[in-house]
Amino acid sequence: MTMKIPMAFFTVASILISMADSRACGFPAIYNFGDSNSDTGGISAAFYPTILPCGETFFHKTAGRGCDGRLIIDFLAKHLELPYLSAYLNSIGANFRHGANFATGGSTIRNQNESVFENGVSPFSLDIQVVQFRQFKNRTIDRYHEETNDFIRSTLPVPEEFSNALFTIDIGQNDLSAGFRKMTNYQFQMAIPNIIGEFDAAIEELYREGARAFWVHNTGPIGCIPVAIRTTVHGDLDQNGCVKYQNDAALEFNRQLKERVIQLRAKLSDASLVYVDVFAAKLQLIANAKEEGFMEMGAICCGYHEGNDHVWCGNQKIINGSQVYAGSCDDPSRFISWDGVHYTEAANRWIANQIIKGSFSDPQVPITHACR
């Protein structure tokens, strides 16, 4: 007797097959490139370590981050069920099985040829970070095949997994800062194509090294950071209270960055390049700060800023004959800005929760599906 199978069965089966075909990528690792927005200990390992109260909220100790706790990259890793990334430059306790972080605070796309001690510009520009990745990849592959100690081997990347990893990039803010510091607005506008060209070169080099899935953040609304607002006359502020010409420069940078990402998609046809509008996500938080449970945008949690007197977070200085310690606020979770430049863990969590879903991405795919 032949059994007649209901049509509904085939409908359900086809849906299940479709769901299986579109399941999450299952990234085995993340390799991150960028500046202090995603630095999990690189610049701290290379130069002077971060000091308390940085790290106080989540780690309850310094953790190499310019923040009271975790960064956006930490929340992305957690969402992908991967460990927090060890900094490439960190020599103690690093585990690279599930990726590495090449970002360092103060990094730029274009080499600025400035001292980190002069203007805080990292010597590890994006091209250097890519060179570091290439060396990291080659040396860890050799070590993985040569190593006989199982524990050491377990801390190294699996060679076959490099091409299946997610490559995240969050850089450009310090290129804008350098442009504002050293150029006229017109000169910087003319320099943007060259900066984007160097970004393009970095992506193509990573592609040649086997990278196939890219998650690219544009640069945030730099004109909204409190240190920018406090040094600008009121007439130069926009409707959100941000420095207009700086945000306009960031928007033009992002426009050209997105255009180049689209071009790269056509050129690197077997790669996935997701462009993430972090500018829009951050601006949405800033514009709706009170509704989201935060204090107004210009409030700074850690640091002392009164008139022309400034003491950076965790530091001390003699002001009017008295020693002033720039400590943190009682409740960092109510602040967007940690130290006048960087975001708090609470703000980073809010932003990460928006972008991981893909609503700020082009194409609109969640980070779990950012592979080809």
What is the set of active-site residues?
36, 339, 342
Cβ atoms of residues 89 and 42 within 8 Å: yes
Q: Cα–Cα distance between 68 and 59 in angstroms, integer?
A: 8
Amino acid identity, position 48: Y
For residue 129, count other CB atoms closer than 10 A to its CB.
Answer: 27
The rounded distance, in Å, linking the Cα atoms of 106 and 368 is: 29
Q: List residues bridging with 64 in a β-sheet.
A: none
Q: DSSP class of residue 34?
A: E
Peptide bond preceding 53 in cis form (omega within 30 of 0) = yes
Alpha helices (H) along 212-366: 226-229, 244-267, 278-287, 345-355
Q: How far apart are CA 49 and CA 45, in angstroms?
A: 6
Nearest Cα to Cα of residue 271 among 202, 208, 214, 209? 214
The amino acid that residue 195 corresponds to is I
Angle at 277 (CA atoms; ends 365, 239), nearest 5 degrees: 140
Residue 48 structure tokens: 């002077």
Closest CA to 143 of 162, 156, 124: 156
Closest CA to 304 of 295, 313, 296, 291: 313
Collapse the DSSP code of 118 into the 3-class scheme (helix H, G, I; strand E, B; otherwise coil) and give the result: helix
Peptide bond into 363 cis (omega under 30): yes
